[in-house]
Structure 1
Amino acid sequence: MTERHPALARLDVLVGRWTVQPEVDGLGTGWTEFSWVEGGAFLRQFSDAEPLPPDAPQAWRENNPLPVTALIGLDDAGEEFTMLYADARGVHRVYRMAFADGVWRLERNAPGFHQRFTGELSPDRGTVHGRWEGSPDGVDWRLDFAITYRR
């Protein structure tokens, strides 16, 4: 890559290792790490955790298996990001993504299973408070879980 697109610089704030705390009873802290790959053309996210405690909710185990890998890229026509996601279940998803003015958004619209994430970056850039929501129809949304990222 000869020259980095300026929109990619918005993601620099994510680079590095973060602890991740989902607000789910019985779950401890995990981690995620963002790093530039392919000469800065893509941002890779890798997430994992220590083994889940035996009292972790079964629904969480089934719906949030680790490790998770995501690759974030840019469509320069509209300066919109896309995240390609894969997890330990063999699930593969595509999310539209935005990151601007300290707000991180992910959205997936799939028949019968819509998802969205909104995270707010703290002024000191050391914390992201976020929430995942789900909807069967893209109209009526419910909180799936809140999550906090900390450096």
Structure 2
Amino acid sequence: MTTSRKSHQHSPHPSDVPSGRSPALAPLHVLVGTWFVEMTHVALSAPVHGLKTYTWLEGGHFLIERTRFDHPDVPDSVAVIGADASGEGLSEHYFDSRGVLRVFEMTLENGLWKVWRDESGFSQRFTGTFSADGQTLEVVGELSQDGMQWEHDFTHRYSKGKGAS
């Protein structure tokens, strides 16, 4: 008895399958690799160190971010970054070891990385600035409980491929 696999070459694509790679993904190449991170956070008494890795999912449509910090109060996380539904912007789906799921919007252009989410009672935003050589990244995070007044939340100092200084 022989079984045959259906060929998908001539099958119609569902409407959510992109016809090609979104141009919105192009700026993300600067993130690819391993980054050592030093973080200060308003809830922690001293800086903590961690590691972030960015790798493309096969097919190149999504960038996978994995994060681990050397502190029991800082959750490990995975994020999936890709083109938004319009194909023109970027979004990030964040998951962490506490069971948290958050969806952020994102831009990355001209050495400036902005990530934000507007949620009733707990909005977040951060801005990251890349060094001219792309080997370091300074990030400042803020939060707002009312969407109007913003408070400092954290800073991250990323160093690509070498230990944090």
TM-score, normalised by the number of residues in structure 2:
0.79
> Which secondary structure state, in structure 1, belongs to the residue aligned with residue 21 of structure 2?
coil
- Partner of residue 108, structure 1: 117
Q: Match of 2:36?
A: 19
Q: Distance in 2 between matches of 1:22 and 1:103?
A: 19
Q: Distance in 1 between matches of 2:89 and 2:80?
A: 14
How many angstroms does 1:89 deviate by?
0.3
What residue number does 2:3 align with? none
Structure 1's unaligned 5+ residue stretches are: 54-60
Question: 72-81 vs 11-20, which deviates more?
Answer: 72-81
Of 20-29 and 133-142, more deviation after overlay is shown by 20-29
- Higher helix proportion, which one? 1
Q: For residues 36 and 138 of structure 1, what CA distance do their matches in structure 2 show?
A: 33
Task: Write out aligned runs for 1:21-40 (5 A).
Answer: 21-24=38-41, 25-40=45-60
How many residues align structurally? Answer: 140
**Largest Rg, 1 or 2:** 2
Alignment of 1:127-138 (within 5 A): 127-138=136-147
Paired residue type of 1:8? L
1:74 to 83, 104, 117: 83
Deviations 1:95-122 (A, max 9, x none): 0111111111111111100100100011
Could you say which residue in structure 2 is the equivalent of 1:56?
none
Which of 45, 51, 56 is the matching residue for 2:65? Answer: 45
- 1:27 is displaced (CA, Å) by 3.4
Measured in 2, the distance between the counterparts of 1:7 and 1:88 equals 29
Question: What amino acid maps onto 1:26 in structure 2?
Answer: A
Q: Which residue, 115, 124, 134 being the options, matches 2:133?
A: 124
Query: 3-state DSSP class of the match of 1:40?
Result: coil
Alpha-carbon deviation of 1:76?
A: 6.5
Match of 2:98 among 79, 82, 89: 89
8 A contact 2:84–2:90 mirrored in 1: yes
Unaligned runs of 5+ in 2: 1-17, 161-165
